Amino acid sequence: MIKKCLFPAAGYGTRFLPATKAMPKEVLPVLDKPLIQYGVEEAMAAGMHNIAVITGRGKRAIEDHFDISYELEHQISGTSKEGLLRDIRRIIDTCTFSYTRQIEMRGLGHAILTGETLIGREPFGVILADDLCVGESQGVMAQMLEIYEKYRCSVVAIEEVAPEEVHKYGVIDGRQLDDGIYMVNAMVEKPGREEAPSNLAVIGRYVLTPDIFDILRRTEPGKNGELQITDALQTQARENMVLAYRFKGRRFDCGSVDGFVEATNYFYRQRCGAEDCDP
Ligand code: G1P
């Protein structure tokens, strides 16, 4: 069983300025819950209770969110508001949190490598909180763990995107092995429409085997001069095996204003009991 899940959360969130000037983008709320809490709940639902967060300057609100606030709890204790903290309390009671800072922003691969000290030599999940996922019958990370249990190699979550969107993602070239499961032959980070090997885009969910750290150490900076996890996975696919999994459910790109609004509407309709809410 995989117990650890890594949350790279050091990025500046420039697409949400000025909101993210003094506030981490990971604590922006969809309705009344911070984005990162959705991710942690997804990890928990997959049985991952050891949460490792890569933070950076100005990200203290994340640590405070996953901690007790005695004063606040004392204040609302016995009132009708007490229930509002029930979910976060359950998370704090069930999970352990560890943090390390990424000192320089040198890409997602670099952020993941920074997490080695928290992860050690065991397979682990990675969740990018700004991709908010709603699974069909179970969470996306729990679905990916099932694939990992069967094949014991790194697994990336993919979805089909429009050809004009491929430049925003890592894109795979793969051969279908089973229903929704592809063996990765190649992966390209943010290709132009012409060079993209397919329209199967990697979204922010990974299960990685720990040899990825050694591979990252020998990976040269790639797209935009950054150390890319996509390039390390391409090496891992060549030397070993990487699977891509077309998850069952829906993803909202909460790193963009459009996706954020879509997610907000979706969760609001769901809360109101609207019928058009299937993922
Ligand atoms: C990162 C990865 C990219 C992946 C994407 C998913 O890009 O580098 O391969 O497709 O996350 O959201 P970012 O969105 O951080 O630029």
> CATH fold of 4-274, please?
Spore Coat Polysaccharide Biosynthesis Protein SpsA; Chain A (3.90.550)
Please write the tens of the pLDDT for every residue from 181-234: 999 999 999 999 999 999 999 999 999 999 999 999 999 999 999 999 999 999
Give the integer Cα–Cα distance in Å for 84 and 15: 29
Please write the tens of the pLDDT for every residue from 27-43: 999 999 999 999 999 99
Q: Which residue has the tokens 């499961």?
A: 181
pTM over 0.75, yes/no: yes
Please write the tens of the pLDDT for every residue from 112-124: 999 999 999 999 9
| Ligand 1 atom index nearest CA of 128 | 12
Counting other chains too, the contacts that 261-269 makes at CB distance below 8 Å and 24 or more residues apart are 263/30, 263/132, 264/30, 264/31, 266/134, 267/30, 267/31, 268/31
> Where residue 84 falls among pLDDT bands split at 50, 70, 90?
confident
What is the distance in A from the centroid of ligand 1 to the CA of 273? 32
User: What is the CB < 6 Å shell around ligand 1?
Assistant: 108, 128, 131, 169-170, 189, 201-204, 228, 230, 255
| Ligand 1 atom index nearest CA of 230 | 9
| Ligand 1 atom index nearest CA of 253 | 12
Substitution candidate for ligand 1 out of 15, 108, 131, 212 with most atoms within 8 A of CB? 108
